[in-house]
Amino acid sequence: MDLSKVVAISGKPGLFLVSGQGTGKLVVESLLDGKRTPAFANDRISSLEEISIYTTGDDKPLKEVFMN
């Protein structure tokens, strides 16, 4: 799965799939109910590809955690 297209938006429940892009916004589709909504530039959007997990040794990208 391509984690760069899966995002978390602060203040909104669940995860979202990026389905399009407009001027100053992304069109995202909820993985919970399939509804499409806009996510604007002032929303705190985090791609799952950018998220790391802190471990006892070092940081591990979320993709590595899912593969192990």
Indicate the number of domains in the chain: 1
User: Which H, E and C letters describe 2-66, residue by residue?
Assistant: CHHHEEEECCCCCEEEEEEEECCEEEEEECCCCCEEEEECCCCEEEHHHCEEECCCCEEEHHHHH
pLDDT above 90: residue 25: yes
Which pLDDT band holds residue 35 (cuts at 50, 70, 90)? very high
Give the range among 10-14, 25-29, 43-47, 55-59 with minimum mean pLDDT.
Answer: 55-59
59-61 vs 52-54, strand pairing mode:
antiparallel
Asked whether the beta carbons of 15 and 6 are under 8 A apart, the reply is: yes
Q: Which domain holds residue 41?
A: 3-67
Assign residue 20 the CATH number of its domain: 2.30.30.730
Calpha distance 55→19 (Å, rounded): 32
User: How large is the average pLDDT for residues 34-58?
Assistant: 92
